[in-house]
């Protein structure tokens, strides 16, 4: 008995179509659209947690800018417009060192207050005297902020151990 070509197609496609509809119904029958969206939100949240994405930055950032003088210096205080040379060690809040002028064997030189450095440095070096050592705890908004920089993650608070080596008055 010969079955016409069109009949073969119908006998094959119709059952496949019906099985597909049944499977779709089975998978989604207990899932209202709100529950589906909640499930998607939950999966996104879990993925962010797994990938280390941090919506809360309290573990890596500081709430406020702090200056602690650990050794007094002598002479004139550094002020905006002065070119200064500073030795430093830069670390993240967790203690990871990301930079050090001591490792390079020479201090870093910049002019205070003209945007050559992060705002935390412009604010934290003002008032230092030659030989003075300070620890600066710099919140991310006065550091590299949302962008981060090199090995410094975004929204990271920074700790700098600084030592003012020299002041070359700009005035």
Q: How much is the pLDDT for 66?
A: 97
Residues 159, 138: contact at Cβ < 8 Å?
Answer: yes
Q: How far apart are CA 91 and CA 110, in angstroms?
A: 20
Within a domain: residue 129? yes
**Same-domain status, 121 and 92:** yes
Q: Which residues contact 125 (CB under 8 A, 6 or more apart)?
A: 78, 84, 86, 112, 162, 164
Quick check: is 144 catalytic?
Answer: yes
> Which of 60, 118, 125, 138 is the catalytic position?
118
Considering the domain architecture, whether residues 124 and 150 belong to the same structural domain is answered as yes
In a shared domain, residues 25 and 82: no
pLDDT at residue 59 in the model: 72
Are the beta carbons of 129 and 166 closer than 8 angstroms?
no
What is the CATH classification number for the domain harbouring 74? Answer: 3.10.50.40
pLDDT digits (tens), the chain, 171 positions: 566 666 666 666 667 766 677 667 666 665 555 555 566 666 666 655 544 444 455 578 888 999 999 999 999 999 999 999 999 999 999 999 999 999 999 999 999 999 999 999 999 999 999 999 999 999 999 999 999 999 999 999 999 999 999 999 765
Q: Which of 67, 89, 98, 108 is catalytic?
A: 98
Residue 98 catalytic? yes
Yes or no: say if 73 and 130 are a contact pair by the CB < 8 Å rule. yes
Q: Is 99 noted as a catalytic residue in this protein? A: yes
Q: Do residues 156 and 118 both lie within one domain?
A: yes
**Known catalytic residue: 118?**
yes
Residue 148 inside a domain? The answer is yes
Q: Are 61 and 140 in contact (CB under 8 A)?
A: yes
16 and 94 together in one domain: no
- Domain assignment present for 58: no
Instruction: Give the pLDDT confidence score for residue 60 in this predicted structure.
Output: 82
Domain that holds residue 70: 66-168
pLDDT the model gives residue 6: 63
Report how far residue 135's alpha carbon sits from residue 72's, in angstroms, rounded to the nearest whole number: 12
User: What's the total number of domains in the chain?
Assistant: 2
User: Under a CB-based contact definition with an 8 Å cutoff, are residues 129 and 78 in contact?
Assistant: yes
Concerning whether 102 is annotated as a catalytic residue, the answer is no
User: Strands 66-71 and 83-92: what pairing?
Assistant: unpaired
């Amino acid at each position: 008995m010969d079955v016409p070509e069109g009949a073969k197609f119908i006998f094959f496609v119709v059952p496949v179509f019906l099985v597909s509809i049944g499977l779709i119904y089975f998978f989604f029958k207990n899932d209202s659209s709100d529950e589906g969206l909640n499930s998607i939100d939950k999966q996104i949240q879990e993925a962010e947690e797994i990938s280390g994405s941090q919506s809360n930055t309290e573990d890596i950032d500081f709430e406020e800018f702090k200056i602690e003088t650990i050794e007094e210096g002598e002479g004139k205080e550094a002020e905006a417009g002065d070119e200064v040379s500073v030795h430093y060690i830069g670390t993240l809040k967790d203690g990871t060192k990301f930079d050090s002028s001591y490792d390079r064997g020479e201090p870093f030189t910049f002019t205070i207050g003209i945007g050559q450095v992060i705002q935390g440095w412009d604010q934290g070096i003002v008032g230092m005297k030659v030989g003075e050592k300070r620890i600066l705890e710099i919140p991310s908004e006065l550091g590299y902020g949302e962008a981060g920089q090199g090995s410094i993650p975004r929204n990271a608070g920074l700790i700098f151990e600084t030592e003012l080596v020299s002041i070359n008055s700009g005035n």
